[in-house]
Structure formats: structure tokens, C-alpha cells
């Protein structure tokens, strides 16, 4: 295997702050691809939990430290996951299911959602940095923005679990038999 889930991760970094490193991913080890997709999902779900806690604490109980941590992680977590899917996972799925029209429709939908989430994540990082610096404003709008983001991310993950994971599992089973 050429890559792993925690290559180059600092030893003392808490689980929720780990980044999934897929920089050298490129083989067709379907078990590893499934593990990586699940690891990215877990990383994003951890992020969603943290963002939800921030949204629930606005404005009076908000923790500047929590906002700073989230601001630092939100863009990287989203981009890491999208990079893995766009550059590694989807090409593998397309190669193994070249005639699958429904798969192509799913990937097209997911691609658009990735673009939206990336743009949203960058905006959120900026807003969370303001709250970390104690200059945040418009708590209601910030809460609305946070809930819109983590709601969309959770729906995106649910869609991938329902539509992509079973396909990858089928491809893996067929590969294991051959």
C-alpha cells in the first residue's frame, strides 16, 4: 500500500483535528479507498459537531478558542475530502462503471455541491475568525450560516453513503473474487 490514513499526522493531535492525508493515493485498492472515504466522512462529521456547538453557543456563550480551531480547520477539512474524491475516488468509480448513467448524474450533483461547500467554507472561516478575535457581529446571521453549512455537509455525506459507498463495495467484492 502506498498511502495510509494518518501518514505525517502529528502524534499529539486530537482525533477530531486529524487530517486525512491522501496525497499519494492512486492505486485501486478498493478496501483502502472505502476506508479513506469513511475517514473523510468522519472528519467532516466531527467538524459539523463542532460548528453546531458554536451555533448553539452564540452569542453569549461562544468560545473564541473553539471558533479559532474551527476557523483553522474548516477549509482544509473540506478541501482534503473533495480533493480525494475528485482526484482519486471518482476516476476509479468512472473507470469501473463507464456506462453507469446514474453514477454520472450523482457525481455531477456532488461536484456542484463541492464547489458550493468550498465557497461557503472560506466564508465561514472568515466569520469564525472574527468571533475568535471577539469582533464577531450579527450572531443570528452567523448561526444561520453555520447551520446552513453543516446541514448541507451532513446531507452530502448521507447521499454519498447511500449512492457511492454501495457501488464501491460492489466493485471491491467483484475485485476480491477475480
Residues that bind Fe ion (CB under 5 A): 85, 110
CB 96 within 8 A of CB 177: no
CB of 156 to Fe ion, least distance (A): 6
Residue with Cβ nearer Fe ion (40 or 172)? 40
CB 28 within 8 A of CB 56: no
CB of 151 to Fe ion, least distance (A): 15
Q: How far apart are CA 80 and CA 160, in angstroms?
A: 16
Residue with Cβ nearer Fe ion (50 or 85)? 85
12: part of which helix (H) or strand (E)?
Answer: none
CB of 78 to Fe ion, least distance (A): 9
CB 160 within 8 A of CB 93: no
CB of 104 to Fe ion, least distance (A): 15
Residue with Cβ nearer Fe ion (30 or 131)? 30
CB of 83 to Fe ion, least distance (A): 10
Residue with Cβ nearer Fe ion (104 or 130)? 104
Q: How far apart are CA 178 and CA 173, in angstroms?
A: 9
Closest among 8, 40, 11 to 24, alpha carbons compared: 8
DSSP annotation of 23: T
Q: Is 84 exposed, middle or buried (0-12, 13-18, 19+ CB in 10 A)?
A: buried
Residue with Cβ nearer Fe ion (39 or 110)? 110
Report the residue number whose CB is nearest to Fe ion. 85
Amino acid at each position: 500500500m502506498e498511502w495510509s490514513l494518518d501518514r505525517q499526522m502529528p502524534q499529539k493531535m486530537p482525533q477530531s483535528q486529524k487530517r486525512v492525508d491522501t496525497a499519494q493515493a492512486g492505486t485501486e485498492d478498493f478496501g483502502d479507498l472505502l476506508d479513506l472515504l469513511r475517514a473523510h466522512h468522519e472528519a467532516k462529521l466531527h467538524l459539523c459537531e463542532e460548528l453546531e456547538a458554536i451555533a448553539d453557543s452564540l452569542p453569549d456563550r461562544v468560545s473564541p478558542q473553539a471558533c479559532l480551531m474551527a476557523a483553522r480547520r474548516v477549509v482544509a477539512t473540506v478541501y482534503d475530502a473533495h480533493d480525494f474524491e475528485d482526484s482519486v475516488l471518482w476516476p476509479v468509480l468512472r473507470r469501473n462503471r463507464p456506462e453507469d448513467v446514474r453514477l454520472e448524474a450523482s457525481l455531477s450533483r456532488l461536484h456542484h455541491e463541492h464547489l458550493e461547500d468550498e465557497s461557503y467554507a472560506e466564508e465561514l472561516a472568515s466569520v469564525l475568525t472574527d468571533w475568535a478575535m471577539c469582533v464577531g457581529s450579527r450572531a443570528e446571521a452567523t448561526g444561520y450560516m453555520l447551520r446552513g453549512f453543516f446541514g448541507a455537509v451532513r446531507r452530502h455525506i448521507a447521499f454519498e453513503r447511500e449512492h457511492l459507498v454501495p457501488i464501491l463495495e460492489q466493485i471491491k467484492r467483484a475485485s476480491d473474487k477475480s
